[in-house]
Amino acid sequence: MKFPSIITHTAVSAFVLSAAIALLPVNAVSAEDARVPRPPQAGSAEPRPAREARMDAREDVRNIREDAREDRRDILEDRREGRAAIMQNASGTKPEVRALLKENREKGVEAFKENADARKKAVEARRKELKAQLDKLKADRKDEKAKKLDGDAKERVEKKISDIYKRLEERVTKLTKVDTELASRITKIAAAGIDTSAVTPLMTSAQAALSKAKTDVEATKTALAAETGTNTSKETIRALVKTAEDSIRAAGESYKKVMDAVKALPKPARPEQATSTVPQNI
């Protein structure tokens, strides 16, 4: 039994509905694709690994969309074949034919929905994967930058400490030279028959102060070497060198007293021909 008018009307309606449904997923894909992080505009300073990750993600999304289109074409073809089979083999009543067409149409609609959901989940999963990649790249760059800054800061601290230790050593070297010259001068004065007993205790005290200064400088060097962290402050460095500086200053004052005492000694009967090289100011 044939139903030309009913079948024709139903077929046209089903075709229009199928065409409308077929268009819906395309719009949905475009909206989802817009949610995928895109590369920055030209002129940005995004590192190459991040740009490559974004490009890979966009390529994957394009593949997901293309696969979804192919699946939609297959679904639409199955709907058409099913509808054609129903129309060709229609032998029941009008309600039965309508029910068969409706069932075929609903199967197609459900297939389209499943296809759209699968595509949406795939795009969302790829978007999350890209975000995780970008976050990791950003964290890695941040760590590298922090390490570089720490290295630069450590180099500055080490240079500062090296300069301080060098300055302390130079002052100790100068006092050592003063000690040698004063000892030589006192020996010559004593050899000339002049009593130097008043100078001897002062010289002994100055030499003890110099020995302490040398010890404190070496101890300061060890302490400074242990404080070459990136968070070492100027105040910490000053505190570490204060003891050595105080010791050097005390030794200098002691040698100045020796010099004053030597100057106060009686002059030898025959003045020395050589000019003393003892510094007047320490």
In a domain? residue 234 = yes
In a domain? residue 276 = no
Q: What is the pLDDT of residue 53?
A: 82
In a domain? residue 247 = yes
Opening angle at CA 37, ends 34 and 41, nearest 5? 100
Same domain as 182, residue 141: no
Q: Give the pLDDT of the chain (282 residues) as one tens digit per residue.
A: 444 444 444 444 444 444 444 444 444 444 444 444 455 454 445 567 888 888 888 888 888 888 888 888 888 888 888 888 877 877 767 788 788 888 888 888 888 888 888 888 888 888 888 888 888 888 888 777 766 666 676 777 778 778 888 888 999 999 999 999 999 999 998 888 888 888 999 999 999 999 999 998 888 888 777 765 545 566 767 777 888 899 999 999 999 999 999 998 888 766 554 455 555 555
- pTM passes above 0.85: no
- Which residues form the domain of 17? 4-150
In a domain? residue 273 = no
The total of structural domains in the chain comes to 2
Same domain as 165, residue 77: no
In a domain? residue 85 = yes
Task: For tokens 């975000």, name the residue.
Answer: 131
> What is the torsion angle, in degrees rounded to the nearest 10, for the CA atoms of residue 52, residue 58, residue 61 and residue 66?
-120
